[in-house]
Every structure is written in C-alpha cells, then in structure tokens.
A and B are shown apart, each in its own frame.
Chain A
C-alpha cells in the first residue's frame, strides 16, 4: 500500500480499533462492515479538503447505528465523484457499495450508478455531465432512496387518571407511518386532531386505518374520534412518495379517556 501521509497508519489503526470496539460492545453485526472502508477512506483523505466531512461522517456512523447508512453514503458519494486520487475514489466506492449491499436501502441503483461512473470516469472532462445524466436516468426508472416501509414508528403515550394522551412525531416521507397502540386494558374513547399539508393539490394525502376501517384524507385539518379496545392499533400512513417541491407532512395530536 502506498502511504502518502505518515499519519495514515495511526488513523487507520484508530479506525479499525473503533470498528472492533463497536462490534465488541454492541455485538457483531454484518452491517458495520462498511465502517472498515469508511475508516480506510478517512486515512486516505488526511491531507484532502474532504477530511472534515469524512471525519464527522465516521464519528456519526460509529456513534449512531441508525444514522450509519446516511453518514457513510454522504461521505463516500462525493468522494467517488470528485476524489483526487484513484485510491480515494475506489475506497469511497467500496464503502458506498458495501452499504448498499449490506444495509436495506430502497432504490439504491441511482446511487450505485453515480458512484460507479465517478470511479470509472476518473478525470474525464465530461465526468460531471455524464454522472448527472446517469443519475437522472436511474432516478427516473427507480426513484430516490427512501426508508423501508416496514419500520413504522410507534407513538408514545401517557395515562393519567383515566385520561390518555399520545405523543405523535411528525409524519413525513422519512417517517411515512406512525402507529398508535390501544392500552392493554379497558375500552377507550380516543380523538385525533390532524393537520396535513405540504402539497399543492387535493388528492388524498394520507390514510387513517383502524382495524378493518380506513379513511383517506386530503391535506387540511380534521378531527376524528373512535373507540379502541386492547389489541387495536391506529395507523397514520402518508400515501405520497417523494416528489420535488412537495413537503408532505402530517402533524397530529391525540388523546382520550377510559370508558
């Protein structure tokens, strides 16, 4: 291996040690393998203007398993495209490809296409044009990366003197579904106040589903009420996929009382 900066081995070792620590304390996970490529990339970019970005992405990826795919992709994709040396571009592509291979990221083809074109085209003068064309074509056929639908978020709740209130996070294209679980005891009269927007049409934006019943609603303000029994789950689901200039969002508050 060609060493261009005498600190490279130390950074490489520190990175690998961190990868080992992550697996020792959290249990081995195959999803952490891209971290090896990321730390290699970190050591290669020591003297590059990309260093701050790769360093921060590495710290983020190590400390936060949930943000690891985003951190690695954000660090590696720009380097695939504009890395100064072949070893930087190849390592960046390895990191990118390993994330796409090992972590479930939907619609990953555009990313792989951009990364591969960046590496293959090297210093070609039309590189950026070709990459942009490749990205647009791939995105046209497959779409943009989105979170897997099966990871629905569960809203927290508190009960005080027979009154329940739910703490519902914002629903948007990064968190397209939120579930409200009924308490495990009793019958509850529950209301939910919804404010949905961020789109420029009146086509149904989201669905409210409870058991067999489903209501499709457009953007605007609505309040619904219903009864919930143990085992019931109310699902709040955004119906729209990503579309430019749309910021689809649902803000909801919900509460109720024991009957």
Chain B
C-alpha cells in the first residue's frame, strides 16, 4: 500500500490540485462556478487519473501559487478571473507535453484538453452544415440536423457547397445522437496526432496539437485534422513506385475532401517528382499524372454528374478569381499574403508564435533530411500560395475558428520544431503559445473572430491596437516582417547576437506605435458613443467580403438620440472625420456639416467578374469615404467635450475620428 501511494504520489498531488481549484473558485467567489469552475477541476482530475507514475514538473508549485494569488485578486478587474482560470489550463497543456513519451502518452496527454476543447467550443456553422449533409447523405436521422437549409454559396437547397466525402465519413457518429457529431472527428484528430508523432516525436506532436493553429479545431467536425493526417501519411510512406501511387491517391482524396486542399495535393505530386531518382522515363511521370487527373475530371463530370468538382467549381468565375488576384491586383494579393502571417485575428504568427522557432529549425531539416524537407515544404508552400491566390481577402475563412486555415502546414512546422526544441528561446515562444491556447479554453469566445479589426483575445485583455488587415497599413506590415526576420536572425546566431533581442523588441514596439491618435469609429467605447449602431448589423465578415472600398464596419448615425460625445477636445483643435453619406447633415458642436460623397465605380480588375454592372448600387459601402476637417471654436465645445449627432437627411457613416491638438502648434 505504501509503495503504491509512493509510486502514484504525483497523481495524488494532481488530484488534490483539482480539488484545490474547485475550492478556491468558490472561496474567492469567481464567476460561472458551474461551468468553468467545474470543468477545469474535472479536467485536472482526469489528468491525475491518466498521469500514472509520471513525475511532477518543476512548474507545479509556481502554478499553484500563481493560480491561488490570481484567483484571490480576481475582483481587481472584470476580466482578471479569466486569466486566473487560464493558469491551470496552461498547466494542463504543459503537463500534456511533459508526459507524451510514447503512443499511449500522446493519447493520455490529449484527452483532458480534448475534453475542455469540446466542451467550450460551440458547434459552429460549418459543423452544422457538415452534420446536415451527413444526415441527408447517410439517411441517419438527427433531431437537430435532419433539415438541410439553404445557405449562401450552396449549390442547391439540398446540396451544400462542401463535397460529400467528409460528411459521409462523420455520419456514423450521428447514430449516437446530435452530440455524436464530433465522435469521428475526435478519432481522426487523435490518429492524426499519432501520425505526427511518427514524423517528429510524441512531445512535439502533442505540442503542435495543443497549440495554435492545431488547437483551434482539435476534435471539431471540420476537415483540417483529416487533411493533416493524410498529408503526414503521405510524407511517412516509404520511397518506391507503389507508394508513389498511394501518394497520388492521397492527393486526390485531399481534393475530394475540400477544394481548398488542391494546392496541398499539387504540392504532394510536385514533391514526389522532385524526390524521384533521375531516369530515362522520368519526364513521362507528370504527363501520366496530368492525364490521370483529366480522366478523373471527366468521370466526375459525365459519370458522377459533377458531384465532386464540376458542380462546385466548374465555372469560369473560379478561374477568373485566381487570374484577377495574380495579375490585376498583385500588390493587394501580396498584402494578403503578408497579413495571412501577421494579422492578429487570423494570421499564423500571432496565435502561434512558436512557429518562428520552427521556421529556424527548418534550415536544419533541409540539411539533415533533404527529401523529407521537400515532401513537407513544397506542398505546404503551394497550399499557402493557392489559399491566398484563390481566396484573396477571404483567405482567413472567418468567422469559423481562427487559424484553422494553417492546419495542413503543421507537419512542416512540427518537423522544424524538433531541431530547436531544446533552445531556451524556443521555450519562450512555446510558453506564450501555451498561454494563448489556455486563454481560448478559459474564454471560449476567443476561439472566434469577425475580421473587423478587433481580435477577441486582445479585446479581452483591453488592448487597443490599429494593427490589423482590415485597417491595412503597409508600414505596420513591414514592421511585423522586420520583427520576425530579426527573431530568425537571433535564432540562427544565438550566442553571438542574443543581446540584440532588446533592440528588436524596442524597434518593433516603436514601429507599431507609429500611428496617429484617434478613434476607429466602430471601436468607440460606450462612454463616448451612445445609441449608435454599426453597419452592417451582423459582425459576420462574409457580409463584407465583396466590399470594394474598405472592409471595416462603419458607425451609422441616422436618427435622434444617437450621439458621440468626444472627450478631451479644446477650442483650437481640429477634428478629422473620415465618413461617407448620401446627403445627410451631421451636427458637430454648433455646426451643420453636409455629408455627400460620390459613389465609387467598380474597380477595373473586378470587371472580369461582373461585366454587366460597373456602377455599384447606392449602398453605404459603395460610397467613397472622405476626410472632413473641422476646426473647433469655443462655441463648439462644452466642458472639454464635443457633441456629434445626426441632424437630418439620409444616414451618415463614420469610419474614423482623429483629433489634431491645435494648442501644440501655437
């Protein structure tokens, strides 16, 4: 008995910590004790059962003390309890990474976090759509998902825009009821992580799974983890002709799974060719592949009635989209590529800073395992390029969970991380990444974003930043690129240049801070803006995908009672209002400002898409946003505040407000 207790004493300690979380939550009176205050201790209890004889880690006592302190101080700020709750979740992630030493370790490490992830992630729109298709195709009745509803982008009222492969695959889960929707995806995720552990090692695989971008949809009914698993399987297959055929089949399955993976599939085939040994008939290989692909398209079109490809993408518009993004607006496409890495809402690096270390490690992969590097690098880069070229400004796929688009690139980064795992700088980036995943568990709404310029994690922390793809500023993008390049430089020359890190941090903060003081209209806090509403009402970014002007939501002023009361404004200041309107009058202090801005014409590159309609309809998003400058007199301001309200006529739409302090110039 004594020996058993001795062997499992660390598991007992973890169980005690679970009880401690439960007790502290209630003693401190933290919010939602029945949900987060119950499930986080339960996850720790599960972890204590799965821990076996594994040893306690050095961070256990600091974590316990930090959680206890943070919980007792939670009343200092309304969001502090969420950060306090994230501390034990972060501990759970660190525990998972530490116990993953073999296949069973991988599963044990993932289960408590999968439990938390599944319980905190609401079933999202894509999952509902997959479930509806699954029920429809398989005939398995479902209480919630039996009726297929038409959505924008669907082919018909009974056929969604998703291909049938994934819905068919997950359909058996519906036998267990509506909640069974995620049974097969959970199994797929676990298998994919096991494959990833074969490619790297168990600890790295668990790290990649529990941090972004992998964590965003871990166990959710979405295609990302299946695509990752198939891609990893393709990399793991041995060399040889019969395995080439298998890889070709994997590439086809990826395209059948989701059209977005065509870049990945093409990359698998290109990498296969690049890894082939030179021979007389090597040139025949691409011809055979192209021919096979053509035959499959013909089968799809004429035998399967276009069910896989033709009915979804067999139109000239899909090809024109790529042509337009590539040749008609290359600079915008380049900016999209840049923001896909750096945007706080959906970009790769903000939610997964560990990737910076992994990129540094890829140089070593290239030297030590050139073939494997090709098999990982070529498909991943082609996937990313195709994503940006085809999707353009909607590369992020929001409002579904942020970061999911980068999942197929995870094997590449995980392989890079293997070689820099022991560097302290890598651990620093991993620590930050762990904190991000932990916050997403503690505050479930942080899993999602709306491409409106406000990242949910930054909003939770009370951080106001103009750094965003929808408020695109080339200078800020350049600063972010400079930051990552400098970090990579430091990684490559660790000992010699480590001291440079402070210069990098300072330079980046300085560059990111170079923006004028002012207010993004849609971010105005409640003590400044009252009664005003945003246009469009819904935060769903799909409503703004096809705006040509700016994709920011606008502040709509159209009726009495809607007011903006700007503080800290003095006589002599000048106020700059970026706004649009169709002839409405805005009252600014004592002045009446007529706001009429011209309608924009459809930008030339888009004529390819909609030849028939060059002048856009008179909708707010189609009016030019112009800057109105208003110098303020003493009669305009009252007690250091300026009142802005709608006076008469059509609505006025405000994009941004800046104040220039007149007294500074005198």
Chain A interfacial positions (CB closer than 8 Å to B)? 7, 9-11, 13-18, 20-22, 24-25, 49-50, 52-53, 55-56, 59-60, 63-67, 69-71, 73-75, 77-78, 81-82, 105, 144-147, 153-162, 164, 167, 169-170, 172-175, 181, 183-186, 188, 198, 242-249, 258
When distances are taken between beta carbons in the complex, the residues of chain B under 8 Å from A248 are 29
Stretch at the interface among B64-72, B141-149, B619-627: B64-72
Take A66-B462, A161-B559 as given contacts and tell me if A246 and B29 are in contact as well, using a CB distance cutoff of 8 Å: yes
Docked-complex contact A7 and B509, CB < 8 angstroms: no
Q: From residue 519 to 538 of chain B, which have CB atoms closer than 8 A to chain A?
A: 525-527, 529-533
When distances are taken between beta carbons in the complex, the residues of chain A under 8 Å from B510 are 21, 24-25
Mark B64-87 against chain A: 1 for CB-CB distance below 8 A, else 0. 011011101111111111011001
B63 at interface, CB cutoff 8 A: yes
A-B pairs with lowest CB-CB distance, top 10: A183-B561, A14-B502, A78-B65, A156-B526, A17-B506, A25-B513, A21-B509, A159-B531, A49-B58, A158-B533
CB distance from A74 to the nearest CB of B (A): 4
When distances are taken between beta carbons in the complex, the residues of chain A under 8 Å from B75 are 144-147, 173-174, 242
CB distance from B77 to the nearest CB of A (A): 5
Residue A67 contacts which of B69, B461, B561, B645 (CB distance < 8 angstroms)?
Answer: B461
In the assembled complex, the Cα of A22 lies from the Cα of B510 at a distance in Å of 9
Docked-complex contact A145 and B502, CB < 8 angstroms: no
Docked-complex contact A24 and B502, CB < 8 angstroms: no
Docked-complex contact B431 and A186, CB < 8 angstroms: no
In the assembled complex, the Cα of A85 lies from the Cα of B432 at a distance in Å of 25
Docked-complex contact B33 and A174, CB < 8 angstroms: no
Docked-complex contact B27 and A245, CB < 8 angstroms: yes
When distances are taken between beta carbons in the complex, the residues of chain A under 8 Å from B428 are 55
Docked-complex contact B502 and A17, CB < 8 angstroms: yes
Residue B83 contacts which of A10, A70, A161 (CB distance < 8 angstroms)?
Answer: A70
Q: What are 9 A-B contacts defined by CB distance under 8 Å?
A: A10-B498, A73-B73, A145-B72, A174-B76, A175-B78, A184-B563, A245-B29, A247-B26, A248-B29
Residue A249 contacts which of B31, B87, B461 (CB distance < 8 angstroms)?
Answer: B31
Docked-complex contact B77 and A75, CB < 8 angstroms: no
Tell me the interface secondary structure of chain B in the complex.
Answer: helix
Docked-complex contact B509 and A18, CB < 8 angstroms: yes
B412 at interface, CB cutoff 8 A: no
Docked-complex contact B462 and A65, CB < 8 angstroms: yes
In the assembled complex, the Cα of A41 lies from the Cα of B286 at a distance in Å of 60
Take A17-B505, A56-B431, A244-B26 as given contacts and tell me if A158 and B531 are in contact as well, using a CB distance cutoff of 8 Å: yes
Residue B560 contacts which of A7, A160, A172, A185 (CB distance < 8 angstroms)?
Answer: A185
Docked-complex contact B462 and A64, CB < 8 angstroms: yes
CB distance from B484 to the nearest CB of A (A): 17
In the assembled complex, the Cα of A81 lies from the Cα of B31 at a distance in Å of 27
In the assembled complex, the Cα of A78 lies from the Cα of B73 at a distance in Å of 13
Report the nearest A residue to B562, measured CB to CB: A159
When distances are taken between beta carbons in the complex, the residues of chain B under 8 Å from A184 are 530, 561, 563, 643, 645
B499 at interface, CB cutoff 8 A: yes
In the assembled complex, the Cα of A68 lies from the Cα of B33 at a distance in Å of 25
Inter-chain pairs besides A78-B66, A154-B525, A186-B561, 5 sampled, C-beta below 8 Å? A25-B513, A52-B434, A74-B70, A198-B29, A247-B31
B501 at interface, CB cutoff 8 A: yes
Residue A77 contacts which of B28, B69, B526 (CB distance < 8 angstroms)?
Answer: B69
Docked-complex contact B69 and A73, CB < 8 angstroms: yes
Take A63-B463, A82-B61, A183-B563 as given contacts and tell me if A56 and B432 are in contact as well, using a CB distance cutoff of 8 Å: yes
B327 at interface, CB cutoff 8 A: no
Docked-complex contact B66 and A164, CB < 8 angstroms: no
When distances are taken between beta carbons in the complex, the residues of chain A under 8 Å from B66 are 53, 74-75, 78
CB distance from B561 to the nearest CB of A (A): 3
When distances are taken between beta carbons in the complex, the residues of chain B under 8 Å from A11 are 502
Q: From residue 286 to 318 of chain B, which have CB atoms closer than 8 A to chain A?
A: none
When distances are taken between beta carbons in the complex, the residues of chain B under 8 Å from A147 are 75-77
B283 at interface, CB cutoff 8 A: no
In the assembled complex, the Cα of A159 lies from the Cα of B563 at a distance in Å of 10
Docked-complex contact B462 and A67, CB < 8 angstroms: yes
In the assembled complex, the Cα of A7 lies from the Cα of B428 at a distance in Å of 13
CB distance from B228 to the nearest CB of A (A): 28
Chain B interfacial positions (CB closer than 8 Å to A)? 26-33, 58-59, 61-63, 65-66, 68-70, 72-81, 83-84, 87, 424, 428, 431-432, 434-435, 458, 461-463, 498-499, 501-503, 505-506, 509-510, 513, 525-527, 529-533, 559-563, 643, 645
Tell me the interface secondary structure of chain A in the complex.
Answer: mixed
Report the nearest B residue to A245, measured CB to CB: B26
Residue A10 contacts which of B63, B461, B501 (CB distance < 8 angstroms)?
Answer: B501
CB distance from A47 to the nearest CB of B (A): 9
In the assembled complex, the Cα of A105 lies from the Cα of B72 at a distance in Å of 13
Report the nearest A residue to B565, measured CB to CB: A184
Residue B69 contacts which of A60, A74, A198 (CB distance < 8 angstroms)?
Answer: A74
When distances are taken between beta carbons in the complex, the residues of chain A under 8 Å from B61 are 49, 82
CB distance from A68 to the nearest CB of B (A): 9
Docked-complex contact A52 and B58, CB < 8 angstroms: no
When distances are taken between beta carbons in the complex, the residues of chain B under 8 Å from A64 are 461-463
Take A21-B509, A74-B84, A144-B75 as given contacts and tell me if A162 and B462 are in contact as well, using a CB distance cutoff of 8 Å: no
Docked-complex contact B498 and A7, CB < 8 angstroms: yes
Report the nearest B residue to A81, measured CB to CB: B65
Residue B499 contacts which of A10, A105, A249 (CB distance < 8 angstroms)?
Answer: A10
When distances are taken between beta carbons in the complex, the residues of chain A under 8 Å from B431 are 52, 55-56
When distances are taken between beta carbons in the complex, the residues of chain B under 8 Å from A70 are 70, 73-74, 76-77, 80, 83
Residue A181 contacts which of B31, B76, B530, B562 (CB distance < 8 angstroms)?
Answer: B530
Docked-complex contact B26 and A69, CB < 8 angstroms: no
Residue B561 contacts which of A13, A60, A172, A185 (CB distance < 8 angstroms)?
Answer: A185
CB distance from A246 to the nearest CB of B (A): 5
When distances are taken between beta carbons in the complex, the residues of chain A under 8 Å from B498 are 7, 10
Docked-complex contact A247 and B30, CB < 8 angstroms: yes
When distances are taken between beta carbons in the complex, the residues of chain B under 8 Å from A59 are 432
In the assembled complex, the Cα of A154 lies from the Cα of B27 at a distance in Å of 29
In the assembled complex, the Cα of A153 lies from the Cα of B61 at a distance in Å of 36
Take A67-B80, A74-B73, A81-B65 as given contacts and tell me if A156 and B529 are in contact as well, using a CB distance cutoff of 8 Å: yes
Take A184-B563, A242-B29 as given contacts and tell me if A50 and B73 are in contact as well, using a CB distance cutoff of 8 Å: no
In the assembled complex, the Cα of A242 lies from the Cα of B499 at a distance in Å of 46
Report the nearest A residue to B26, measured CB to CB: A245
CB distance from B460 to the nearest CB of A (A): 9
In the assembled complex, the Cα of A160 lies from the Cα of B432 at a distance in Å of 42
When distances are taken between beta carbons in the complex, the residues of chain A under 8 Å from B527 are 154
When distances are taken between beta carbons in the complex, the residues of chain B under 8 Å from A82 are 61-62, 65
In the assembled complex, the Cα of A174 lies from the Cα of B61 at a distance in Å of 27
Report the nearest A residue to B59, measured CB to CB: A49
In the assembled complex, the Cα of A92 lies from the Cα of B31 at a distance in Å of 29
In the assembled complex, the Cα of A188 lies from the Cα of B531 at a distance in Å of 12
In the assembled complex, the Cα of A184 lies from the Cα of B65 at a distance in Å of 49
Take A10-B502, A24-B513, A183-B563 as given contacts and tell me if A174 and B530 are in contact as well, using a CB distance cutoff of 8 Å: no
When distances are taken between beta carbons in the complex, the residues of chain A under 8 Å from B424 are 7
CB distance from A71 to the nearest CB of B (A): 8
Report the nearest B residue to A184, measured CB to CB: B563
In the assembled complex, the Cα of A258 lies from the Cα of B561 at a distance in Å of 9
When distances are taken between beta carbons in the complex, the residues of chain A under 8 Å from B643 are 184
Report the nearest B residue to A242, measured CB to CB: B29
When distances are taken between beta carbons in the complex, the residues of chain B under 8 Å from A66 are 77, 462
Docked-complex contact B531 and A183, CB < 8 angstroms: yes
When distances are taken between beta carbons in the complex, the residues of chain A under 8 Å from B509 are 17-18, 21-22, 25
CB distance from A164 to the nearest CB of B (A): 7
In the assembled complex, the Cα of A183 lies from the Cα of B561 at a distance in Å of 5
CB distance from B408 to the nearest CB of A (A): 29
CB distance from A251 to the nearest CB of B (A): 11
Report the nearest A residue to B81, measured CB to CB: A174
CB distance from B50 to the nearest CB of A (A): 23
